[in-house]
Structure 1
C-alpha cells in the first residue's frame, strides 16, 4: 500500500501528463506552437503529424512560437534476392527544425533548433503495386517517428526551461 502511494507526495509530475484540473507546463508550451507550412506532400504529412502531437485539441489562435521544418528523404536497396534484384530497402528521412519565439513581434529570436532522423525498412515485391504500398507504409512510419522525435526534443527543451535550466542557443 505504501509503494502505491509513495510517488504521490514526492512532487513527481509526468512530463506529458495532464491532470483533470490542469495541464502540465510542458503540454501548455507545446500547444503554443504554430507549425509552419512544409513543402511537398511528405512535408504536409509531417506537418499534420506535428500538429496532432503538439496540440491534439487544435491549434491556438495566438501562438507564442513558430516552428519551421525542412524535411528530406532518400531510399535505396540494402539487400538483394537470389536473382540479384532488390529484396529489402531502407528509407531515411531527416528533418531540420527551428523554434522561434514570436511573442514579441518586433524581435524574432530562435529559441531552439535541432535535427531528427528516422530510418525505416521495407520489402520489395515482384508486382510494382506491392512495392509502392510497402514504400508508403515505410514513409508513414518514418514521418510518425520524425514528428515524435521533434515533439520529444521540444518537450525536453520546455521541461528543462521550466526546471530552471537556461538552455543556451543563439542563432
Structure 2
C-alpha cells in the first residue's frame, strides 16, 4: 500500500465512524433532562416522593441520604408518591485470626425493602429490595470496632440511597 492511500483510508474510517453518531445524535436525551414540552421532568417527579419516617438509626441514614438525593436539598413539592422503607442490618465475621480465634474483618449487610405507594389510593405501584455489604476491621479495641461498624453501616446506607434513587428514576421514566 502506498503512502498516498493512507490519508484517504483514514478519512473513510473517520466518515464510517461519524455516520452512526450523527444519525443517533438526536435520539439520545439524558434521563434527568427536562422534557421541554412543559410537563414535569424526572427530577421534579423524583422530588415529589415523600419518604415515611423510620425507626432505626441505619434506616434513618438511608432515609436522610435518599431524601437529599431525591430533592437535591431543595424544598420538596407536594407528594405524588409515598415511599415506605423497611431496613434491616446484620454483621458477620468474614475473617478470623487462627491463632487467637478472634474476628479481624467483619462484614455488615444492610437490606432495605421498600414500597412506593400512590398516596391517593394507597395502591402499591413498586415493591423492591436492595442490599449493600461493607467490610470493616474488628479488633480487640471495643470502641474502635463499634465506630468501624457504624462507619460501615453509614457507607452501606449511602450506597443503598443511590441504588434506590436509580431504581425509582428508572421506574418513573417508564411510567410518566
TM-score by length of 2: 0.78
Larger radius of gyration: 2
- Cα distance per residue 1:100-128 (max 9 Å; x no partner): 112xx3x2211111001111111112212
1:49 touches 1:144 (CA, 8 Å); kept in 2?
Answer: yes
Task: Considering fraction of residues, name the structure with more helix.
Answer: 2
1:87 touches 1:124 (CA, 8 Å); kept in 2?
Answer: yes
Verify: 1:71 aligned to 2:83, yes or no. Answer: no
1:51 touches 1:59 (CA, 8 Å); kept in 2?
Answer: no
Q: Tell me how many residue pairs correspond in the alignment.
A: 156
Verify: 1:158 aligned to 2:175, yes or no. Answer: no
- Cα distance per residue 1:113-148 (max 9 Å; x no partner): 100111111111221222122111111111011111
Deviation at 1:9, TM superposition (A): 4.1
Closer/same/farther in 2, CA of residues 133 and 7 from structure 1, 3 Å limit: farther
Closer/same/farther in 2, CA of residues 17 and 131 from structure 1, 3 Å limit: farther
Quote the RMSD (CA, aligned, Å). Answer: 2.5
1:71 touches 1:96 (CA, 8 Å); kept in 2?
Answer: yes
TM-score by length of 1: 0.80
Q: Which runs of 5+ in 1 are unaligned?
A: 163-171
Q: Which runs of 5+ in 2 are unaligned?
A: 1-14
